[in-house]
Structure 1
Amino acid sequence: MSQKQSQWILAEVPEIPPDIDDTLPEILVRMLCQRGVEIGDMKRFLQPRLQDLQDPFLMPDMRPAVDRILTAIDQNQSVCVYGDYDVDGITSVTLLTRVLRAYGVKTRSFIPRRGPEGYGLNEAALKRCMSEGDKPDLLVTVDCGTASLTEIAALTTDGVDVIVVDHHEPPPQGKPDCIAVVNPKCPQEREGDSFDYLCAAGVVFKLAHALLKTRMIDGFDLKEHLDMVAMATVADIVPLVNENRLLVRHGLKFLANTKNEGLKALMEVAQVKGPLTSADVGFRIGPRINAAGRMDRPEDALATLTTTDADEAAALAETLDGHNKTRQGEELRIHKAALKQLEAEHDPSDPVIVLGSRDWHPGVVGIVASRLMRRFHKPTFIIAIDAQGIGKGSGRSIGGVSLMDAINANRELLEAGGGHAMAAGISVHEDKIDAFRQGFADFVTTHVSEEDRLPRLHIDAEIDFPTLSLDFLKSYELLQPFGSANPEPLFMTREVWLTEPPQELKNHHLRLSMKQKECWKSAMFFSAGQRKLPEQPWDIAFTINRNVFRGRTSLQIVIQDVRAHQKED
């Protein structure tokens, strides 16, 4: 099955307002306009300030949550913080536990295991949670709980008060009956920022802010814990808008000089050195934390972030790195097997990819689904089937195809299913996988035209080689942090020639030396060694970043796509 050629779509050049700040490069202003940033907000966007954070009590149920936690502090009650096994959940547990212990609260934490227990509050995980310590007076869920109406009702009946701190959508039945549900996705009557873009760690940060506004702790600086919030916000791929952008921008600075021994050790293992970017979190630090959850050892990640001993942190970071290498090995094995199965069983004209096996690990099927979706530009589900014949699948989609709509259209074939338009999970019996594949394909062909399913490369601006200077890079970096809703800009340039044959490095990466007229540049083209390259000259689509090697700083071009040169229309 061949990879589809992308259609390049160059964004229209916006009209530059006459009263714009002339100290900003024109191309930077153009990209700000393309991203919907108003003239009066440009400086605030480029230089966000912590003093612009809004009142945390604008969040729903914040006052009853703060009051109940203060009661736990004053009455010396025990608290359990119950989270999720991904980066957002583990950093949320770490941050809230640290704040509560700073108040002197008897606090323990709990993370469910993905394989045997699954996500969120559930009977199996709660049974283990209660067996590992005394029954708490107060249980605070982070990054879960909004949809756990039955489980929370049982806890309340058992005499455990519950506070939910979450960012997931409430169920149709409404929010659970408990002390408070601090979740920006829940309806509220107050006007102003809805905060619905926050990840769980962002909501925990607001709760901590509200607690400290109500009762300060001598010597406790909440800003120093923005490293946790930045990591979670990037790793959870929530929109980098409003306060998220502010929290990540400043959080990355604190992360570069973190006081957290576990993060220091993780950055050492991942060979990450400041100044840090969202890519460092998303591709180097975050995956090592997530790998523990994928390998059913989330407690290792939690221990790494909570230890205060440097030697223990170093050992735990090595353990996480080992989990990540195991995850990478499993991912590679499953990816190869999936490609083989795809070649043998699927027609290249199929509009979807649905593959399953009893030999696949459920913790990594989502990553494999993402790789296949990007390679073949088809909505994809990869399913790990257990010994009882129940498959747990993860899906990733392309623009225009909603996985949730597809799941709802095929509910009768599934045991369960939920998620979002672009990423979702299903539970399906192996006997019904073929029927689901057909139903999924029928939904896609019925609701989305073939033209709308073609891959598109959306390019922000056309730029020539002489413009790519370190001065331009310095201004360009003000757009960071990049992520959801503020993607890394994609540039293009025309009619470039290779000055020598491509140099293939390990993992099929290419190092290229190119020229455009009389200007020479070097570039990296990752995983392109086995790709058939077009005849020269080329047009190239690329991103840029800062490269520091042996003390020398340069602007690095990273090619995303190439095509034979096409003259401008």
Structure 2
Amino acid sequence: MRRWIEPQEVHVPQALQSAVGGHPLVAQTLVRRGLTEPDAARSFLHPDFYQPAPASDLPNLIRATERLERAITQGEEICVWGDFDVDGQTATTLLWSTLRELGASVRYHIPVRATESHGVNLPVLRKLIADGVRLFLTCDTGITAHEAVRYAQEAGIDIIITDHHDLPESLPDAWAVVNPKMLARGHPLRELPGVGCAYKLVEELYERGGRPGDATQYLDLVALGIVADVAVQTGDTRYLLQRGLGALRQARRSGLQAVMEKAEVNPARLTEEHIGYYLAPRLNALGRLANANSAVELLTTDDPSRAWILAVELEGLNARRKLLSDQVFEAAVEQVERDPSLVAGGALVLSHPAWPPGVVGIVASRLVERYGLPTVLIAEPAGELARGSARSVPGCNITAAISAHAEMLEGFGGHPMAAGLAMEASRIAEFRRALGGTVSEMLKGIEDGMGLPIAAYVPLSELSLDLVEQLERLAPFGPGNPSPTLATKDLHLVGQSGVGRKGEHLQLLVEDGMGRQAKVIWWQGVNWSLPEGRFDLAYVVRASDYHGQPEVQIEWVDARPVVTEVVTAVVAPGVDVVDYRARPNARQLLEQLRSQDGLQVWAEAGAKTEVGGLYRDELEPSKKLAIWTTPPYSTELREALRKVSPETVYVFGINPGLDRPQRFLERLSGLIKRALTASEGRVTLEMLAAATGHRESAVRLGL
């Protein structure tokens, strides 16, 4: 359970509400996200009102454009060098198609993951130069290609780098380096992915060629890359995605038509969710398990028959990708279960000789969801460098954390939330310890998951397609613009069933106090405990067209027990129960209550020291009891109330913040060490349970 951030009242200017219209929650969400002016809100909601930044704002873009124009005029052989993920595939397709249309002599090369890995591979570069290439144009790669650039320069060959990955300490001495990360924070172009950077270059080429607007034919490719690369949706990135989704719904490319048909995606109703969960995984399967160069053919062919053949091949690769991902995931979980200390070190770093390098990134993302830790999964084939993929959590720049230990690595690169690395297998254990320490320092003081902001409490009776359609005006959703999280109070579970190929998801039926019921889908929920008794549910809503029938789809985000109901059920008759859980000024309220005679504060884990409370074994009879932290279970609550016998109970229900395995084990380990040094090793299960805010059975398992 995460710490819920209760919805705060916001002042919505009348001018903003009038400009936005519709459900008040839309305008409230805009205000919470810093959009208080009508013009800013309109440009956020409607791309027609947005003024995109000029391509020339990107440093060195004009120099790159001029060099490409010279190469086209002089008939120099150009090679577009891409990357094998969807961002790289779409950027390669976009640049190759544009240059070919402008009359260039151009070819493309996307590295094969199994033999070349990321970046500009020197042996392949030599071969292409020997084959007549006189200008290289990279996309979604190259920002750390110092050696390749030096070799090309010595051979009299120019390289233009377009990339978006984090900048190294020194840039390659290329003809031009175009990277949005060179812009100031807050610039509308700064969050562009590789295909977005390539698009701005193409936009300038067409503009200078007297064909303004022709670049828009590639907006569908830009949308694919933005979502697949999990780019932050702000400024021009959001604008290009909005426009690109509109283009994708037209499905003009034969290859994408075929892929959508195989994936059972209705183009007319396509959203960013369909890209993320259906289209991107299929395209990524090419780069992960085969040769991503065929993606360019898929995305450019005009032959429906050829498109269908390629889409069928893609479907087979995607099925294999799912199988391998499941196998690696199960093996990774088994490693953690055998050695729980792996999740007690700040970051989860796992490795295995048999893991396919192409799927470790996918599995790392799943492990982040399961354990709440920055995760690095490493494939270590015998006789070769070990190569891994990292995924992170909010508040931890995983690339920066990895770079702090560059001396242990043969190479690395990435973004704040994802990275790749290569190293000698013999250094994995050392790297695990070092990275764990760095990540722990980064996350120090950051609350679990940084809290879960609740946009509004909504009764089940008000969940309708109309509400969903209103909220979807804020779409597309993703990093920088998350879907609003709603919540409904006081539900109980009526039924459950497993869904998915392996029953890994849960279809739940919940009911409120009025007898209204609703279906809830909990993705990957099979490994989590279901709430007992009554609970509050946090969720997001979407419109589903399952079997062609539009309906509201409720997706589980989090749940918390209805503490006041449990308290009321176990207190003696006549005891007053006061619910302070939803109050924003909880600490201030507690201090006001302290002025009253006979008040005890029950607070566990680290909260005991913070608020000057008492552990469960320290409670004594008293007229008033403030329950500051959420009790671990009704048994502990009942025992505490029996000991105190209060006349009034104040329920705050603050999450102790030790639900994640890493935090729980870190706290438990620290308590044991302290007991060994300060208490001569004498400590009880009850003391440890209170100091962690858990049940004694959980402490026993942790030990």
TM-score clears 0.5:
yes
Alignment map for 1:4-19 (pairs within 5 Å): 5-19=1-15
2:398 aligned residue: 403
Per mean C-alpha deviation after superposition, the further-off stretch among 467-476 and 439-448 is 439-448
Task: Indicate how the Cα distance of structure 1 residues 264 and 359 shifts in structure 2: closer, same or farther if over 3 A, else same.
Answer: same
1:62 aligned residue: 61
Are the aligned partners of 1:253 and 1:275 in contact in 2 as well (CA < 8 Å)?
Answer: no
Alignment map for 1:499-510 (pairs within 5 Å): 500-506=494-500, 507-508=502-503, 509-510=505-506
1:290 aligned residue: 284
- Pick aligned residue for 2:306 from 305, 312, 318: 312
Are the aligned partners of 2:495 and 2:510 in contact in 1 as well (CA < 8 Å)?
Answer: no
- Pick aligned residue for 2:507 from 505, 511, 517: 511
**Post-superposition shift, 1:550?**
4.3
Describe the SS at the equivalent of 2:390. strand
2:315 aligned residue: 321
1:148 aligned residue: 145
The superposition leaves residues 491-538 of structure 1 with CA deviations (integer Å, 9 ceiling, x where unpaired) of 11101234x422333433333333332544322223334543222322
Task: Indicate how the Cα distance of structure 1 residues 440 and 38 shifts in structure 2: closer, same or farther if over 3 A, else same.
Answer: same
Describe the SS at the equivalent of 2:525. coil
Task: Indicate how the Cα distance of structure 1 residues 66 and 405 shifts in structure 2: closer, same or farther if over 3 A, else same.
Answer: closer
Question: Which residue identity does 2:37 align to in structure 1?
Answer: I
For 1:64 and 1:451, the matched residues in 2 are separated by: 43
For 1:58 and 1:446, the matched residues in 2 are separated by: 36
Are the aligned partners of 1:261 and 1:305 in contact in 2 as well (CA < 8 Å)?
Answer: yes
Question: Which residue identity does 1:89 align to in structure 2?
Answer: G
TM-score between the two structures when normalised by the length of structure 2: 0.74
Task: Indicate how the Cα distance of structure 1 residues 515 and 472 shifts in structure 2: closer, same or farther if over 3 A, else same.
Answer: same
For 1:400 and 1:182, the matched residues in 2 are separated by: 27
1:86 aligned residue: 85
For 2:449 and 2:133, the matched residues in 1 are separated by: 53
**Post-superposition shift, 1:311?**
0.7
- Pick aligned residue for 1:545 from 539, 542, 546: 542
Describe the SS at the equivalent of 1:162. strand
Are the aligned partners of 2:17 and 2:24 in contact in 1 as well (CA < 8 Å)?
Answer: no
For 2:236 and 2:346, the matched residues in 1 are separated by: 39
2:270 aligned residue: 276
1:177 aligned residue: 174
**Structure ranking higher on relative contact order (CA contacts 8 Å, 6+ apart):** 1
For 1:355 and 1:263, the matched residues in 2 are separated by: 36
Per mean C-alpha deviation after superposition, the further-off stretch among 359-368 and 460-469 is 460-469
Describe the SS at the equivalent of 1:49. helix
Are the aligned partners of 1:362 and 1:393 in contact in 2 as well (CA < 8 Å)?
Answer: yes
Question: Which residue identity does 1:110 align to in structure 2?
Answer: H
2:378 matches 1:377 = no
Question: Which residue identity does 2:233 align to in structure 1?
Answer: L
For 2:492 and 2:420, the matched residues in 1 are separated by: 45
Alignment map for 1:167-206 (pairs within 5 Å): 167-178=164-175, 180-186=176-182, 193=187, 195-206=189-200
Higher helix share: 2
Question: Which residue identity does 1:152 align to in structure 2?
Answer: V
Alignment map for 1:145-544 (pairs within 5 Å): 145-178=142-175, 180-186=176-182, 193=187, 195-216=189-210, 221-273=214-266, 274-347=268-341, 349-388=344-383, 390-445=385-440, 448-449=443-444, 452-453=447-448, 456-498=451-493, 500-506=494-500, 507-508=502-503, 509-516=505-512, 517=514, 519-544=516-541
Structure 1: runs of 5+ lacking an equivalent: none
For 1:206 and 1:420, the matched residues in 2 are separated by: 20
Are the aligned partners of 2:542 and 2:552 in contact in 1 as well (CA < 8 Å)?
Answer: yes
2:132 matches 1:135 = yes
Superposition CA RMSD, Å: 2.6
Task: Indicate how the Cα distance of structure 1 residues 257 and 158 shifts in structure 2: closer, same or farther if over 3 A, else same.
Answer: same
For 1:374 and 1:544, the matched residues in 2 are separated by: 20
Task: Indicate how the Cα distance of structure 1 residues 128 and 14 shifts in structure 2: closer, same or farther if over 3 A, else same.
Answer: farther
The superposition leaves residues 122-164 of structure 1 with CA deviations (integer Å, 9 ceiling, x where unpaired) of 2133245446xx3123221111223323312322332323222
For 2:452 and 2:482, the matched residues in 1 are separated by: 13
Question: Which residue identity does 2:86 align to in structure 1?
Answer: V
For 2:274 and 2:92, the matched residues in 1 are separated by: 22
Q: Which has the larger radius of gyration?
A: 2
Task: Indicate how the Cα distance of structure 1 residues 378 and 203 shifts in structure 2: closer, same or farther if over 3 A, else same.
Answer: closer
Task: Indicate how the Cα distance of structure 1 residues 518 and 187 shifts in structure 2: closer, same or farther if over 3 A, else same.
Answer: closer
The superposition leaves residues 409-434 of structure 1 with CA deviations (integer Å, 9 ceiling, x where unpaired) of 44444344443443223333232222
2:116 matches 1:117 = yes
How many residues get paired?
Answer: 558
Question: Which residue identity does 1:352 align to in structure 2?
Answer: A
For 1:511 and 1:192, the matched residues in 2 are separated by: 41
Question: Which residue identity does 1:314 align to in structure 2?
Answer: W
**Post-superposition shift, 1:194?**
5.4
Are the aligned partners of 1:377 and 1:455 in contact in 2 as well (CA < 8 Å)?
Answer: no
Give the percent of matched residue pairs that are identical in Structure 1 and Structure 2. 32
Task: Indicate how the Cα distance of structure 1 residues 344 and 16 shifts in structure 2: closer, same or farther if over 3 A, else same.
Answer: same
**Post-superposition shift, 1:187?**
5.7
Describe the SS at the equivalent of 1:560. strand
For 1:286 and 1:396, the matched residues in 2 are separated by: 17
Task: Indicate how the Cα distance of structure 1 residues 129 and 493 shifts in structure 2: closer, same or farther if over 3 A, else same.
Answer: farther
1:25 aligned residue: 23
For 2:228 and 2:16, the matched residues in 1 are separated by: 34
Question: Which residue identity does 1:511 align to in structure 2?
Answer: Q
Task: Indicate how the Cα distance of structure 1 residues 135 and 13 shifts in structure 2: closer, same or farther if over 3 A, else same.
Answer: farther
**Post-superposition shift, 1:557?**
1.1
Task: Indicate how the Cα distance of structure 1 residues 44 and 376 shifts in structure 2: closer, same or farther if over 3 A, else same.
Answer: same
Task: Indicate how the Cα distance of structure 1 residues 340 and 246 shifts in structure 2: closer, same or farther if over 3 A, else same.
Answer: same
1:102 aligned residue: 101
Structure 2: runs of 5+ lacking an equivalent: 565-580, 583-703
**Post-superposition shift, 1:277?**
0.9
Are the aligned partners of 2:85 and 2:284 in contact in 1 as well (CA < 8 Å)?
Answer: yes
Task: Indicate how the Cα distance of structure 1 residues 446 and 162 shifts in structure 2: closer, same or farther if over 3 A, else same.
Answer: closer
For 1:47 and 1:194, the matched residues in 2 are separated by: 16
TM-score between the two structures when normalised by the length of structure 1: 0.91
**Post-superposition shift, 1:349?**
4.1
The superposition leaves residues 153-196 of structure 1 with CA deviations (integer Å, 9 ceiling, x where unpaired) of 32233232322222233332235231x323222369xx994511
Describe the SS at the equivalent of 2:65. helix
**Post-superposition shift, 1:59?**
2.3
Describe the SS at the equivalent of 2:349. strand
Question: Which residue identity does 1:168 align to in structure 2?
Answer: H
Task: Indicate how the Cα distance of structure 1 residues 428 and 375 shifts in structure 2: closer, same or farther if over 3 A, else same.
Answer: same
Question: Which residue identity does 2:482 align to in structure 1?
Answer: P
2:653 aligned residue: none
For 2:548 and 2:322, the matched residues in 1 are separated by: 31
Task: Indicate how the Cα distance of structure 1 residues 163 and 335 shifts in structure 2: closer, same or farther if over 3 A, else same.
Answer: same
